[in-house]
Amino acid sequence: MSGAEAVLTILGLGLITVLTRSFFFLSQREMPLPVWLKQGLRYAPLAALAAVVVPEVVMTQGVLIHTWQDARLFAVVAGSAWFWWRRGILGTIVSGTAVLLALRLGLGW
């Protein structure tokens, strides 16, 4: 791909992104959404987060992990336990990261 083609591709993708994201803002009136769609959209952030996080936790190099001695598994358990105990995002991140670092640096997992 030449430099001109790359620039044209980036501009085209940028234009498409702006148009699709601003579609709802261009209308003069509010567009009604069906109730079933509103209820379904409530779960979209959780589904997107799970689609990104779960493969990172259970896979390495595109293959499922085959041992329980993986620091990521224990970090997920620690972070989940903190969240169910205190319901705080910052504590969840800190506890999961602390366990991950302790196991990776301390035990070499």
pLDDT tens string 29-68: 887 889 999 999 999 999 999 999 999 999 999 899 999 8
pLDDT at 5: 96
The Cα 68–Cα 88 span in angstroms is 27
The Cα 107–Cα 71 span in angstroms is 9
pLDDT at 10: 97
Whether the predicted pLDDT of 83 surpasses 80 = yes
The Cα 80–Cα 91 span in angstroms is 10
Whether the predicted pLDDT of 27 surpasses 90 = no
Q: Is the dihedral angle over the CA atoms 24, 42, 51, 91 positive or is it negative?
A: positive
Whether the predicted pLDDT of 74 surpasses 90 = yes
